[in-house]
């Protein structure tokens, strides 16, 4: 799969996704500090799913009605990086056919895919 990872995504998660043969454009490496709407624009231009831990993207998508190719919001604060990585990889493997073009949330207990 192809992703744009917002700078709020932990680097070890990006590394694990790349090691699992996913293509990841990491904002922290390419365009550090750009506004959220620019991050979403990059994801849309690249036709990638956006990965983020920033809840503001929910507001952008639902209140401002901005289009997207899929957004995955990580709600995994307080977990070890190893646990976060495992949960993200598991969620992608189990729901890879559902997440494109939808807003998904990976939390400590489950993944929720909100059909857009």
Per-residue pLDDT 10s for the chain (116 aa) are 999 999 999 999 999 999 999 999 999 999 899 999 999 999 999 999 999 999 999 889 888 888 899 999 999 999 999 999 999 999 999 998 899 999 999 999 989 998 76
Query: SS3 of 1, please?
Result: coil
Q: Is 32 left (phi over 0), alpha (psi -120 to 50) or beta?
A: beta
Domain ranges, ordered by start, for the chain: 2-114
Half-sphere exposure of 77 (CA within 13 A, CB side): 6
Task: Outline where DSSP puts E strands in 1-116.
Answer: 2-5, 23-26, 49-52, 71-75, 103-107, 111-114
Rounded to 5 degrees, what are φ and ψ at 29?
A: -85, -30
**Residues with Cβ within 8 Å of residue 41, at least 6 apart in sequence:** none
Which pTM value belongs to this model?
A: 0.94
């Amino acid at each position: 799969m192809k992703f744009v990872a917002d700078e709020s995504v932990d680097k070890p998660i990006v590394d694990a996704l790349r090691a699992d043969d996913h293509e990841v454009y990491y904002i922290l490496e390419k365009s550090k500090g750009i506004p959220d709407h620019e991050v979403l624009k990059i994801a849309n231009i690249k036709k990638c799913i956006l990965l983020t831990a920033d809840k503001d993207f929910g507001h952008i998508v639902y209140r401002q009605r901005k289009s997207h190719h899929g957004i995955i919001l990580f709600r995994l604060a307080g977990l070890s990086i190893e646990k976060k990585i495992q949960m993200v990889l598991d969620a992608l493997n189990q729901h890879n056919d559902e997440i494109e073009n939808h807003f998904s949330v990976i939390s400590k207990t489950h993944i929720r895919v909100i059909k857009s």
